[in-house]
Amino acid sequence: MPLTTLCLRCGLCCDGTLFTHVPLRHTEAAPLKALGLPVREREDGTSVLPQRCAALDGRRCTAYAQRPEGCRRYHCNLFTALSEGEVSLDEALAVVDGAHALLAAAGSERPPEVEDYLDRHFRGRHGAARRGSDAS
């Protein structure tokens, strides 16, 4: 239950903050389109689900049971730390609240310190070369 609480308070992996898109398997595009979600095709013919996800209502996924494999597999650094007991739920929620506050204060242009915070606590990536990449 603490992991669900964390995800429902966060939503950064689905709202376009951490990733621009989620890669889809060939078999996932049609069911997502049937749900009314905007699936896009890359030049190479592979399909992606653009982020901000259209299935996101507030911070809750309305297509949770049908979510793609890339979404099912993804666990941010904070999720992993909470699941392994490295941080308490209260500590994890404070990090999420801190991220949302930083993003709100930064507006549309995120300074490097905001990206560094997101990299450290959520993406698990370091450096500008990895920003904006896939969720997988």
> Rounded to two decimals, what is the model's pTM?
0.82
Q: pLDDT band for position 125 (50/70/90)?
A: low
| For range 22-48, the mean pLDDT | 95
Instruction: Please tell me the distance from the alpha carbon of residue 50 to that of residue 29, in angstroms, as a whole number.
Output: 12
CB neighbours of 23 closer than 8 A, spacing ≥ 6?
46, 47, 48, 70, 134, 135, 136
64-68, 74-78, 102-106: lowest mean pLDDT where?
64-68
* 127 DSSP assignment: S
Question: Do 22 and 15 touch, CB atoms closer than 8 A?
Answer: no
Cα separation, 82 vs 80, whole angstroms? 5
Q: With 80 as the cut, is the pLDDT of residue 78 above it?
A: yes
Helix/strand/coil for 66: helix
Counting every residue written for the chain, the total comes to 136
- Local structure of 98: helix, strand or coil: helix
β-strand partners of 23: 48
